[in-house]
A = this chain, B = another copy of it.
């Protein structure tokens, strides 16, 4: 993407953010937040169940437009990363709505109650037009 196009794109994302009160279908941008959790005890079924319990509570943050909780698939090629325990994918209508999620009491309580379970997280935030 050319720098000029990128700036125009960023600008349109901001505009989409301002239009957060419009119906979902009117939003032009999709903000994809994908988190891969690495448990301290990856072989503990109890710890995995606890994290899933926490994520199911976290899914209630109201700005989340779509959520998917997964585990590594059985696909196994060289390029595939499969050492994480849990995948947490959510969609937001804008950067601003993701910021609301980050600061939401449900999210803060999730981090407080469950962060002792994981060793690290790898987070990928990406934005692009809705198709």
Q: What residues of chain A have their CB less than 8 Å away from a CB belonging to chain B?
A: 1-3, 5-6, 9-10, 30-32, 34, 36, 45, 48-49, 52, 59, 67-75, 77, 79-82, 84, 87, 89, 95, 98, 120-129, 131
Contact = CB atoms under 8 A, between A and B. Distances in A.
A45 to B, nearest CB: 4
Given A3-B45, A45-B3, A89-B32, A123 B80 contact: yes
Nearest to A121: B79
30 contacts: A1-B45, A1-B71, A5-B45, A30-B68, A34-B124, A59-B131, A67-B131, A68-B128, A68-B131, A69-B129, A69-B131, A70-B127, A70-B128, A71-B126, A71-B128, A72-B124, A72-B126, A73-B98, A73-B125, A73-B126, A75-B98, A79-B122, A80-B124, A80-B125, A81-B123, A81-B124, A82-B125, A84-B124, A87-B126, A89-B126
A123 B75 CA distance: 10
A73 to B, nearest CB: 4
